[in-house]
Structure formats: structure tokens, C-alpha cells
Amino acid sequence: MGREELAALIAILQAQLEQGTAGVAVGSWKIGYEKKRNAFIFDKCENEGYCEERPAVVAIDGSIIDPGGLFWLRPNSAAFEPLAYGFP
């Protein structure tokens, strides 16, 4: 990551703190950066592989690409949809 991405991450984390428990970063164990999507991945897997939730994905501009959540539900969908994060 470069300076722009680091500054964006700081701004995103500050915004998430302001949202309290409603923020998408709550429950994250790791934060990664995906250059291809220019987004931060807030990983919610415990113990290097145990996952009950898919990660939240936040674009560098702070917009929410995917709020994360239970694997079998996606935003605006009542059915399971395969994800692009490498999870089933």
C-alpha cells in the first residue's frame, strides 16, 4: 500500500469508530488491501480459517462494496450466491 491507501484506511477506520457497533469493521480479525478492487477487506475469520461470516469490503473512497455477514445471505438476496473472496 502507498500513502493514499494508508490515508484512506485511517479515514475508513475513523468513520467505522463513529458508527459504533453498526460499523462493518466490527468483528474483524484482519484487515487486508485488494489492489484489483482498490478496496479493504475486513476479514472476520477466527483462528486462521474458522469463518461464520464473509468479510466486509470497503472501497478506498469509503463506500461499502459488501457489508459482510452470514455466508448464505448476500445484500438484497435471500439465496446463497457464490462469492469472489475464495469462500464457498
83 inside domain = no
- Are 43 and 54 contacting, i.e. CB atoms less than 8 angstroms apart? no
Angle at 46 between CA 3 and CA 10, to 5 degrees: 20
27 inside domain = yes
How many domains would you assign to the chain?
1
Q: pLDDT (tens digit, 0 to 9) for every residue of the chain, 88 residues total?
A: 899 999 999 999 999 999 999 999 998 889 999 999 999 999 988 776 677 788 999 999 999 999 988 765 555 554 444 444 444 4
82 inside domain = no
Domain that holds residue 51: 3-70
33 inside domain = yes
9 inside domain = yes
Q: Is 78 left (phi over 0), alpha (psi -120 to 50) or beta?
A: alpha
Q: Is the pTM of this model over 0.85?
A: no
